[in-house]
Amino acid sequence: MDARGGANMAAGACSFPARSGNRKGSVKPFFRDELFEFKGIWMNHYFTDNWDNVQSFQAKPDDIVISSFPRSGSTWTSYITDLLCAYTGVQHANFLLNSPRLVKTHLPVQFMPKSFWEKNCKIVYVARNPKDVVVSYYHLEQTLLLHPEPGDWSSYFQRFLQGKMVYGSWFDHVTNWWKKKETYSNLHFVFYEDLVKDTKREIDRLCSFLDLFRSSEEKDRIAAKVQFDQMKTNPSVNFTTVSAFDSTHDFLRKGKVGNWKNYFTVAQNEEFDKDFEKKMKNTTLEFCTAL
Ligand SMILES: Nc1ncnc2c1ncn2[C@@H]1O[C@H](COP(=O)(O)OS(=O)(=O)O)[C@@H](OP(=O)(O)O)[C@H]1O
């Protein structure tokens, strides 16, 4: 979980859950860590060793949380939100202040520190077609050295369906966050595919949710600044250069809807669709997985 910036923007960036990659005397700064079941969710130690601090995190009422299952567009949404909170065409003094804090997390809803609920913080949840998520996650895990070895594509695909991923099952993650909307109104869903299709409209919606008033010109400037090609060349949001990554894959990789079609076999697609239908049958959340 990163506070003020998932997009590593202004002051006060911190990571949550946060800890050093140098665990239990390991000489390597980062190392591949195995999955284990943690309170019913597959996790790795990198994200759980700091658990008491995570759970006792003290939220402030104006904190803005950006939550998602990994690889769903959270960096993009964090960057947009960060610019919306800070941007007036030129960087003004507030840009250097620590409020509001942006807190980026991939925690399943049941793991969220209770302080966020008590303070009624605004939470933006980003969701993406799981077929693109699994492909994107597969590439990330090849390069992000603190995650478990991804193995080959077909076994990774099976693990995704079984929910044996860092942060658990995509299906549970998304549907449980969606269910939270029934009892918590300060929760806004953003869909990656909508952001790709019409960034400006999603920025408008974010502004309404966050009670931010930005001129049309400001929103246009932000929409241009957060396009994939712009972000890819921006080291503060394309984290490929940080030391936990080897440099063979890009953190901001393709930025496309439907890239899964280059990886799924016909049989995998059929298996996925069947599983999707079964696991999503009790939720009102609708997804188009054919895109
Ligand atoms: N501006 C913009 N336009 C389109 N797509 C974008 C953009 N910014 C990030 N991305 C894509 O989002 C994917 C990464 O998601 P996350 O930021 O949630 O990843 S992470 O969990 O924090 O590692 C990852 O998807 P893939 O390219 O499919 O791997 C990023 O490229």
Note the helical H segments in the chain. Answer: 45-48, 51-55, 74-86, 114-118, 130-143, 153-162, 170-180, 192-197, 199-210, 216-225, 228-232, 266-279
For residue 91, what pLDDT is reported?
A: 44
Distance separating alpha carbons of residues 130 and 289, to the nearest angstrom: 7
Q: What is the ipTM of this complex?
A: 0.99
- Tell me the backbone φ, ψ of residue 155, rounded to 5 degrees: -75, -30
199 lines ligand 1 (CB under 6 A): no
8 lines ligand 1 (CB under 6 A): no
Domain coordinates of the chain in residue numbers?
2-18+30-279
Query: Is 121 within 8 Å of 65 (Cβ atoms)?
Result: yes
Q: Which of 117, 284, 107 is nearest to 186 (CA)?
A: 117
Compute how many other C-beta atoms are within 10 angstroms of the C-beta atom of residue 177: 25
The amino acid present at 121, given as its one-letter code, is C
For residue 16, what pLDDT is reported?
A: 47
List CB contacts of 83: < 8 A, sequence separation 6 or more: 9, 222, 225, 226
Q: Reply yes or no on whether 106 is catalytic.
A: yes
pLDDT tens across the length of the chain (291 residues) = 654 433 332 222 334 444 444 344 444 456 788 899 999 999 999 889 999 999 999 999 999 999 999 999 999 999 999 999 985 444 444 447 578 999 999 999 999 999 999 999 999 999 999 999 999 999 998 888 788 889 999 999 999 999 999 999 999 999 999 999 999 999 999 999 999 999 999 999 999 999 999 999 999 999 999 999 999 988 888 876 555 566 666 788 899 999 999 999 999 999 999 999 999 999 999 888 888
CA angle 97, 199, 283 (to 5 degrees): 100
Distance separating alpha carbons of residues 169 and 108, to the nearest angstrom: 9
To 10 degrees, the CA torsion angle through 207, 11, 249, 227? Answer: 30
252 lines ligand 1 (CB under 6 A): yes
Q: pTM of the predicted model, to two decimals?
A: 0.89
Q: Which of 121, 17, 6 is nearest to 73 (CA)?
A: 6
Closest ligand 1 atom, CA of 144? Answer: 23
Catalytic residue among 106, 139, 147, 173: 106
CA distances to 28, 29, 207, 214 from 197, rounded to whole Å, are: 42, 40, 18, 21
For residue 248, what pLDDT is reported?
A: 61
What is the CA(261)–ligand 1 centre distance, in A? 17
What does the longest C-alpha to C-alpha distance in the chain come to?
55
228 lines ligand 1 (CB under 6 A): yes
Quick one: DSSP state of residue 73?
S
Distance separating alpha carbons of residues 272 and 180, to the nearest angstrom: 25
For residue 93, what pLDDT is reported?
A: 47
140 lines ligand 1 (CB under 6 A): yes
What is the CA(152)–ligand 1 centre distance, in A? 22
Distance separating alpha carbons of residues 111 and 95, to the nearest angstrom: 30
For residue 10, what pLDDT is reported?
A: 26
117's tokens:
């609920």
CA-based end-to-end distance of the chain: 29
Distance separating alpha carbons of residues 68 and 260, to the nearest angstrom: 19
For residue 5, what pLDDT is reported?
A: 39
Closest ligand 1 atom, CA of 253? Answer: 27
Compute how many other C-beta atoms are within 10 angstroms of the C-beta atom of residue 52: 7
What is the CA(24)–ligand 1 centre distance, in A? 31
CA distances to 41, 64, 88, 95, 224 from 92, rounded to whole Å, are: 42, 20, 7, 6, 20
What is the CA(36)–ligand 1 centre distance, in A? 26
What CATH architecture does domain 2-18+30-279 belong to? 3-Layer(aba) Sandwich (3.40)
Q: Which of 153, 98, 109 is nearest to 131 (CA)?
A: 153
231 lines ligand 1 (CB under 6 A): yes
List CB contacts of 102: < 8 A, sequence separation 6 or more: 2, 3, 4, 5, 6, 7, 9, 63, 64, 65, 66, 78, 81, 82, 85
